[in-house]
A and B are shown apart, each in its own frame.
Chain A
């Protein structure tokens, strides 16, 4: 197993080239990567949002959006245009600078995380050695933006929402990182591309059956999924927003484009978390465990692909992201909201010990096999 890992590591170094690195120039790849990131940032969340609208609608015995665009697919675009047109209100008692900066501080980290998430063979902007570490570190900056918004609004509901968000995000950061650490430990690398590759080449000890990390780390997956839901403040963990208690939490005083930025943060956050889960547990762009993509040769059949393989790989990753979004939506439609203290208790008394246990088990297994 250890030999296998080191062998795959060498293979990985050969593969860590982005498809956007065309030629030797600096400008063209940079522009291509920017276009890629922005497309990921604006298009995929809309896809996720549309999925949420439609799935929620069907689950609730209604149709969801139908008017804007074919089958209502442009509803979120229409919403975005509406938000841009709305008046940008800053409450008189608010701290105007902090108030105005907060949505940006919440939004930009999500954008930055997209830099390192690979969605296909070679389809990524950047392959950092510390990719996973970078993603988790950067994404926790969003909390600051939410706290800023809650405090600067000069509104009691906002303040309560901001404080709840801060408490909740700090509490769930820990199980999230511990669960991710177990994955990094098993893969032997922090690079997200490397983790995908490690999954494609991971065999059950003693056999030649390829498996994703979802199966050996089912517990870790559960922890990561719950923690991700809490990080994103999605129902049933949406206490920072809690519309029946806190009106709209830290977003209460926001209007127009700033409100839209907070909303985009949520949807893009779902995509980022979906991407992370796909990469960490669901084998990235691997279609099925042990099944190589057509036209791909390297490392378990997911590298060195032609354009067909690359396209298919992107489609597979997006599909897995949407699956995760679907699970998020399903939970939202089904469950009422937890109470703040129940949420904290769950984080510190249930998830953190379980995550530690998971980490310990993986460590032992890693040493033994």
Chain B
């Protein structure tokens, strides 16, 4: 039996042009071949248009090849055609779960190039919003990771909290996902009346409900059996891939831009960084929950520090950055977000390179998937937190 006919026998109805490399094991009637399983681009476990091609022996994954780019929207090119104010509305879209944090990086980079002094209150507000945004993002992943392991309820609970927080942020910014609240030199408008009080109340409520998540998910025997020791990532490999955020912290390294390279006013307050031990899926989830709590702590501290004052500064009629280049790295919810902003002195950036955390994190997935079972593959996919738009930009 020729190889071609074997292939057709094993993969009936597959599209032409798919690259299989079949390894035939055994002889005669007992000959078997690896199965190629294409998970995605539209698969429940990929939450977005992300595809991963698995070469499988039974249910065991022999190798994995992520295929990305289904959602490439060319933000880096688009940014070169928009001036610095317009970019704000553009960059909060690549990672749609952390719109505010994305804007923040660009705002900081432009301000750095223009050597702009941002009022204190604006900086505190930015921190407050960034941390709430982080809580929003992490709650989403708390729900979705549990959902991928088959627990349906945490998703609903997470959305209950998210709804409250989004409602509050909508009052201040007018947006629920794409806030566009930052601008060069500060934030768009001051906080509405009662925002700080609502913030304080919500931290209490959210902290109380975090206990439920710990009980329901972290304390669950099946959850532990499914995640402990699954997809363990050594620290050096993680660093070599450029993996950051909760996925890196789970390996035991407390690397967090807010601590190691403080921006805004993070240097003035205490930023707790949760760390794991083994870098496995359980630790990643543990760090995720820990980061929510850390964010709530930070919000409480910000509420103590925030004072009256202006929230933005008068900009020149034409926002122009002087010639030069800078690199701003901020701690996005999913990891470290870097913006390389190079200007030729014009109104638009000459080059805006986005270093998105998801892109680097997803690179580590083939390493983690080698030799695991399909259910574990889903646990790995769910615990290396990524947003597809953040990978493809």
Contacts and interface: CB of A to CB of B under 8 A. Distances in A.
A336 B217 CA distance: 8
Interface stretch (B70-78, B261-269, B368-376): B368-376
Interface of A is mostly: loop
Interface in B202-256: 216-217, 220, 222-223, 225-226
Interface string A90-117: 0111000000000000000000000000
B43 interface: yes
Nearest to A59: B153
Contact of B374 (A60, A93, A245, A342): A245
A339 interface: yes
Contact of B151 (A154, A245, A336): A336
B13 A239 contact: no
B59 A244 contact: no
A82 interface: no
Given A236-B222, A337-B222, A339-B225, A60 B148 contact: no
B45 A91 contact: no
A154 B13 contact: yes
A244 B45 contact: yes
Nearest to A155: B13
Contacts of B382: 244
B152 A341 contact: no
Contact of A239 (B156, B217, B375): B375
Given A154-B13, A236-B222, A242 B150 contact: yes
B382 to A, nearest CB: 8
A312 to B, nearest CB: 36
B44 A337 contact: no
Interface of B is mostly: helix
B150 A244 contact: yes
Contacts of B226: 336-339, 342
A335 B221 CA distance: 9
B257 to A, nearest CB: 32
A339 B13 contact: no
Contacts of A52: none
B375 A245 contact: yes
B189 interface: no
B171 interface: no
Given A244-B150, A336-B149, A341 B373 contact: yes
Interface string A240-264: 0011111100000000000000000
Contact of A91 (B13, B37, B59, B146): B13
Given A154-B12, A244-B44, A160 B152 contact: no
B325 interface: no
A244 B147 contact: yes
Contact of B220 (A154, A156, A245, A335): A335
Contacts of A157: 37
Contacts of B375: 239, 242, 245, 337, 339-340
B146 A336 contact: yes
Nearest to B37: A156
A340 B13 contact: no
B222 A335 contact: yes
Interface string A55-69: 010011110000000
B35 interface: yes
A56 B153 CA distance: 9
Given A337-B222, A338-B222, A339-B225, A61 B151 contact: no
B222 A160 contact: no
Given A93-B12, A243-B44, A245-B374, A340 B59 contact: yes
A235 B147 CA distance: 12
A247 B42 CA distance: 10
B138 to A, nearest CB: 19
B305 interface: no
B350 interface: no
14 contacts: A60-B152, A60-B156, A62-B156, A93-B13, A154-B12, A244-B44, A244-B147, A244-B148, A245-B45, A333-B152, A336-B222, A336-B226, A338-B226, A342-B226
Given A62-B156, A93-B12, A338-B226, 11 more contacts: A56-B152, A59-B153, A239-B375, A244-B148, A244-B149, A245-B375, A334-B216, A336-B217, A336-B222, A336-B223, A337-B151
Per CB-CB distance, the 7 closest pairs between chain A and chain B, nearest first, are A337-B150, A93-B13, A336-B149, A336-B151, A60-B156, A244-B148, A339-B375
